[in-house]
Amino acid sequence: MNQTVTPPTEQGSTGAPRRIEHVTVDERQARGRTARAAVPRSAHAAYEPWSGRPDPVDLLEEQGRTRVAELVPIRYGRMLVSPFTFFRGAAYLMASDLSSLPRTDLHAQLCGDAHVSNFGGYAAPDRRLVFSINDFDETLPGPFEWDVKRLVASLEVASRDRSFGDRDRKSINLAAGRAYREAMAGFAGRGNLELWYTRVDVEQMLHDAKRVGTSKQLKRARKNIAKARTKDSLRAFSKLTEVVDGEPRIISDPPMLTPVEDVAGAATHDFEELLRNVIRSYRTTLNNDRRLLLERYRYVHAARKVVGVGSVGTRAWIMLLLGRDSNDPLFLQFKEAEESVLEPFLGKSAFAHHGRRVVEGQRLTQAASDIMLGWTRTDAVEGIRRDFYVRQLWDAKGSPMVEVLEPTALAYIAKVCGTELARAHARSGDSVAFASYLGSSDAFELALAAFAESYADQNERDYAALKAAVETGRVKAEIGV
């Protein structure tokens, strides 16, 4: 077969598309085989802490220097809930570790933090619930296997938190790696448009889960899906606002939710005008039809919100806008975008604006994206330039409840996550070369399962190091917030 195809477009240093040569399927397959010769699949099994490995707490403290100081202890407190929550906040540590290991030259647009809880359901523009990656704060092009390793390692860590036995844990880890490999083989044989339209439907997932889940698990899943469907701006409006002097205002619940007028420094700025300027800047990054939609809403109020685990301490704001009346709210989240944790090890982003880096990565790899995705930048608050990306606060978002899943259910989720990660990588990278590298044997998933075991051990050591740092007073943690 010598069919001529167009591989995915790459980006130049400015973020603009750069023309690259067309190559044949045979040449793309050869590239995968060449990559396998340079970095055998079995090489991915190895993990040993390298001699120059930085102190894990030092790396976490390094991240904390650019964050809101009073919120950093909350981040540590959330990370200390369990080794799994620690893993969720330790993407920088793992990126540092992966940089010391053999890597392929087969690149995709990485999620950068592809742990199992960063996959989930949300409403596509057609309002159907789809399942995909739903966190792109760390997105950057890089070796495809970095994402797969983080996914499989997260499953091992989560399984240990659930006290699953060795056999169940290995089965779950293999399911993710096998699903990735088999899905990539399927995507390699599809046309570009067919691949682009592919997505995982939540209702189909629920139907498929009947084969592996108990009636109790399926009942819980249906309940969670029904709950997710209600998570929209109207629901946020009912939960997060109150009426003050006839106007809706976001409630005060510090430190989790702090109205803009109560945030330190707010009194020295005309925040309302500042926030309106931020909205105007953000609006220019939307398509024309969505700009028109946004213009139908007026700014009402804003608040700083604490979100996530690893993200705690970065600046995250929610803004309330109203359309025709109080039954037509729009809640937007403005989340600070810093340098990806991958950049110190893989090089700078092609985008000088980190908010745009996040949005472009999400649009490229996600099955379907929020219609309100955009970005903005401001230096008016602290005199420091800060980048933000923007999305709807709640849009039927939900993630697998890993903490309650039994082994068969988690194995099913592992399979779906592996399949979805392969789809994301196939859209942004060379699926034919990836499939050629992975081959048809179980060598890749066996290597990943072995890596996951070793890296989960490392994660436990790092978790203990943070715990000891808190106990000795080296760092401060606020537990239970």
pLDDT in the model for residue 374: 97
284 — phi, psi (to 5°)?
Answer: -70, -15
Tell me the average confidence (pLDDT) per consecutive run of 10 residues in the chain, 481 residues long. Answer: 41 47 92 98 95 96 93 96 97 98 97 96 90 95 98 98 97 98 97 93 82 75 79 89 94 93 66 82 96 95 89 90 94 96 97 97 93 90 84 84 89 96 97 98 98 98 98 96 87
Name the DSSP class of 52. T
3-class SS shares of the chain: helix, strand, coil, % to 5: 50, 15, 35
The pTM for the full model equals 0.92
411: nearest Cα among 132, 168, 221, 215 = 168
**Residue 27, C-beta contacts closer than 8 angstroms, at least 6 positions apart:** none
Domain layout of the chain by residue ranges: 22-203+403-471, 233-392
pLDDT in the model for residue 6: 39
The number of beta carbons lying within 10 Å of the beta carbon of residue 179 is: 22
pLDDT in the model for residue 204: 85
pLDDT in the model for residue 12: 44
pLDDT in the model for residue 231: 80
DSSP string, 73-126: HHHHHHHTT-HHHHHHT-HHHHHHHHTTS---S-EEEE-S---GGGEEEEE-TT
User: What are the tens digits of pLDDT across the range 21-56?
Assistant: 689 999 999 999 999 999 999 999 999 998 899 999
Bridge partners (DSSP) of residue 318 are 303, 333
Element (H, E) at 14: none
User: What are the tens digits of pLDDT across the range 277-297?
Assistant: 899 999 999 999 999 999 999
pLDDT in the model for residue 396: 74
Bridge partners (DSSP) of residue 329 are 322
Amino acid at 425: H
114 — phi, psi (to 5°)?
Answer: -85, 50
Name the DSSP class of 318. E
